[in-house]
A and B are shown apart, each in its own frame.
Chain A
Amino acid sequence: MIDLSYIQKRFDQLQASHPNDELASLRTEAFNRFTRLGIPGLRHEEWKYTNVSNLFNNEYQQALSASALSGIDQSFLDSIRLPGSTDADELFFVNGRFISSLSSIRSSNDELIVISLPEALKSDFAAIVKQHLGHSNRYLEDGIHALNTSFINDGVFIYVHPHLKQPGDLNRPLYFYHISDVRDNHILSQPRNLIFAAGGSRIQITETFATIGTMDNLSNQVLEVVVNKDAYVEYYKIQNTVNANQISTTHFHQTGKSYVHALSLTLNGGTIRNNTNLILDGEGCDSHLYGLYLINGRTHVDNHTLVDNRQPNCYSKELYKGIMDEYATGVFNGKIKVERLAQKTNAYQSNKNILLSDHASINTKPQLEIFADDVKCSHGCTVGTLDENAMFYLQARGIPQQNAKALLLKAFAMDILVQIKPDRLRNYVEQLISDRLLINE
């Protein structure tokens, strides 16, 4: 049995320091759930192939307030900045805490508002926050998710105003940088944020992760996004940190006919679990989920997706592709739920994989739960190796084996890469991938 008493201690500390805050009862309720459920082991149906319990053999420190953090120099921050950062809204989190001194909100107040959750609960947004914060708890009923909720603290609430500019152009991109500072301690980071895209708003969000230092780090991060009628949300997640252990949850709640385009990209990491939920709670939602995992070493990536069709006439498309080399292991679990009301659902899912080594593996599983009768659902998965005929064809034209391989792998990844809509972000990602595959162009 893992000794989690240090977590209890931290929890008591947090509650004691924020006794009257609006979030206290949410935390208490979640902590009770955490105590009851514990860390999921391999016997838990949703965690069968991803061992997170052994990540808790360490005793981690958690930062309970932002003020205790300091000493990350500018050059490090610049090295992790995403392209176009100088005209983006940039939010920096260190060890799970929002650091306003590092962050820059360049949008005006009538475009986008960023305030801390406790502040939001005292503002005009209180009703919105109360209604939506924790919506994901209904869908992720395990100790890990409860653990994050137990430590909800100073995360941010972001209100995206309806679009003011020309139709077609977006607000500034919104960048989240999650930094684990593990120079002195093993760290557990638990960011928890909420975005509310108001009716008719448009926003493009990217979350990226970085580590400084060599001690162990575990990030258990949750972002909830409420997407109102006629809102348009693009979302990108970039995971490219060696040895970073991560449980990363992105929960979209489409409350009216709206558009979501979400993509997660994993190039490096230790043990990674991504939960991506799309709750289609409005008639005629249009939703697109993409993922690419290109992993080697002993990296483990588990992509759990859920598309819950609750209203009629929703369209969803899901495509995840993976390339696993050396001892890397992948998991894809794609659940599509079509509720009784959700007639004329059109849901498409596909997962394609290439294994480059005999030791690499993938577990892929579609899960369809359909309670309506007039629906179109399709799913498929493939697991293959590099096409030898294509390899030989390239080599016979004088392209060296290593480059031929890189060219074919990049081609395999291409139909995900083209789904990164902002040019500069796509170029940035393509470069990361070329570097990984040693393509010199």
Chain B
Amino acid sequence: MLLIQDIHAETDGKKILKGVNLEIKAGEVHAIMGPNGSGKSTLALVLAGREEYEVTQGRITFFGKNLLELSPEDRAHEGMFLAFQYPVEIPGVSTTQFIKTAVNENRKYHGEAPLDAVAFLKLMKEKMRLVDMDQSLLTRSMNEGFSGGEKKRNEIFQMAMLEPSLAILDETDSGLDIDALRIVAKGVNTLRNENRAILLITHYQRLLEYIVPDFVHVLYNGQIVRSGTKDLALELEEKGYDFIREESESSVSATQPENISKT
């Protein structure tokens, strides 16, 4: 589904991604962990098409298409969804209006007629129940004055409405209470099937107990320096990133992440 090959990206002359390789197949759940500032969000934003980050090297294909040539909206239309680490507040645009526009633009791209008011309302009610979202948020301006947890829940709600093929969740678990975390996990697990894939960016093993990943990767200093199974997350939780740092520094010449992650 998604193939990332040797991606280098920078902004303002600052190199952030320094050769990322990753393949995600349909049906898989991948988790990316890594210390603050290692480039996780940058990778997610590069995938979603944020122009601020210039890709200077490498290739990305998504369902066989050259992803880097697609506009952000077309990436969404092709099935990519990013739950933002910092969802944006949009004064004057209600949550309902935002989501209705998004849903119908996606339908339009696929040659489907827009949902009428009744069908849309029905769909919205169903998905709101799934993520247990408060009705009153719908008429308010998008994310404006929402609590941290409400913003995150709103991201999952949008994901449920848009039913993407690849959902990238950038720290959607941060700042959530235990109940909210379960709800987010439920939202993701409901979406999960053999045609879809999920990329979780997280700092905490806890989320991975609810959404069990097939692969865990460590992004460090702009590269994936280690990959493994869910046990890797447990190991990180126990030891912190220090051992990764040591390893990565003692193998400066071994820039191919594959070499490092082999155990």
Interface, chain A (partner B; CB < 8 A): 387-390, 392-401, 403-404, 407-408, 410-412, 414-415
Contacts and interface: CB of A to CB of B under 8 A. Distances in A.
B102 A398 contact: yes
Which of A400, A401, A407 has the largest count of B CB atoms less than 10 A from its CB?
A: A400
B105 A403 contact: yes
A408 B72 CA distance: 17
Interface stretch (B15-23, B86-94, B123-131, B204-212): B86-94
Contact of B90 (A395, A396, A400, A411): A411
B98 interface: yes
Interface residues of B, number: 29
Interface stretch (B54-62, B76-84, B171-179): B76-84
Contacts of A404: 73
B109 A398 contact: yes
B101 A403 contact: yes
A408 B92 CA distance: 8
Contacts of B73: 395-396, 398-401, 404
B105 A396 contact: no
Interface of B: 48-50, 52, 71-73, 75-77, 82, 84, 87-93, 97-98, 101-102, 105-106, 109, 141, 158, 162
A396 B79 CA distance: 11
Nearest to B84: A393
Given A400-B73, A410-B92, A395 B101 contact: no
A392 B92 contact: no
Given A387-B88, A394-B102, A411-B91, 16 more contacts: A388-B52, A389-B88, A393-B88, A394-B98, A395-B71, A396-B72, A396-B76, A397-B105, A397-B162, A399-B102, A399-B105, A403-B105, A407-B101, A408-B92, A411-B92, A411-B141
Contact of A393 (B75, B87, B109, B162): B87
A186 B63 CA distance: 63
A336 to B, nearest CB: 26
Contacts of B98: 394, 397
B84 A415 contact: no
Contacts of B101: 394, 399, 403, 407
Contacts of A397: 76, 98, 102, 105, 158, 162
A393 B91 CA distance: 13
A395 B97 CA distance: 14
Nearest to A398: B76
8 contacts: A392-B88, A393-B84, A395-B72, A395-B76, A400-B105, A401-B71, A408-B92, A412-B92
Nearest to B87: A393
A412 B141 CA distance: 12
Nearest to A441: B101
Contacts of A407: 93, 97, 101
Contacts of B71: 395, 400-401
Q: Select the residue from B50, B72, B158, B162 with max chain A CB neighbours within 10 A.
A: B72
Contacts of A394: 90, 98, 101-102
A390 B141 CA distance: 13
Nearest to B100: A441
A404 B71 CA distance: 13
Nearest to B80: A396
A403 B109 CA distance: 14
Nearest to A393: B88
- Most chain A C-beta atoms within 10 Å of own C-beta, residue among B73, B77, B109: B73
B72 to A, nearest CB: 4
A411 to B, nearest CB: 3
A411 B93 CA distance: 6
A420 B77 CA distance: 37
Contacts of B97: 407
B199 to A, nearest CB: 15
Contacts of A392: 48-50, 72, 88
Contacts of A408: 90, 92-93
